[in-house]
């Protein structure tokens, strides 16, 4: 990295399989250990309308109905995380979409079972993060704050 701080927000969701398998704490711990800051969280059941908006870019694809059915099948933890290059950092921590191809040490590599049961979703670009955060959170549900230890995990240059 070039030393320039790129403070961003990103959207992360522990999917129904991650919730059912008791992986919420492990996933949050990995994000916190990387120095990212939790800015919002909701434990919710996603209804069909929200699921269709969330996966809207896949509407014409054959797997769309499966995505919607899966994400509405149980509770999820929707979260907003902040940090230096948060979108890219979370993507690296999550690993590849297919857990069979994801590197060991990544969330999906360690916990995912297959391409559908991959325990976590994260925004793939800053524009996607903005859209997804807007689907799940009102602005007043996101909290910005400074952590005393932040200078040690994300030095400002």
The region, left, alpha or beta by phi > 0 then psi within -120 to 50, assigned to residue 154 is beta
How does DSSP assign 63-92, residue by residue? Answer: THHHHHHHHTSS-EEEEEEEEETHHHHHHH
Q: Please, are residues 135 and 76 in contact by the beta-carbon 8 Å criterion?
A: no
Q: Where are the beta strands (DSSP E) in 27-142?
A: 37-44, 76-84, 120-122
- Taken as a whole, the chain contains a residue count of 157
> Would you give the distance in Å from CA 131 to the centre of its chain?
13
Catalytic residues: 121
Q: Please, are residues 107 and 95 in contact by the beta-carbon 8 Å criterion?
A: yes
């Amino acid at each position: 990295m070039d030393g320039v701080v790129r403070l961003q927000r990103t959207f992360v969701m522990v999917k129904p399989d991650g919730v059912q398998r008791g992986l919420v704490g492990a996933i949050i711990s990995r994000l916190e250990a990387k120095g990212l800051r939790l800015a919002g969280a909701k434990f919710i059941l996603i209804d069909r309308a929200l699921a269709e908006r969330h996966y809207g870019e896949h509407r014409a694809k054959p797997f769309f109905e499966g995505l919607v059915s899966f994400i509405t099948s149980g509770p999820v933890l929707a979260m907003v995380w902040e940090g230096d290059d948060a979108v890219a950092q979370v993507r690296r921590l999550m690993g590849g979409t297919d857990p069979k191809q994801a590197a060991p040490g990544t969330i999906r590599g360690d916990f995912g079972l297959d391409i559908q049961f991959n325990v976590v979703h994260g925004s793939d670009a800053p524009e996607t993060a903005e859209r997804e955060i807007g689907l799940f959170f009102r602005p007043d549900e996101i909290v910005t704050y400074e952590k005393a230890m932040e200078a040690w995990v994300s030095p400002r240059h």
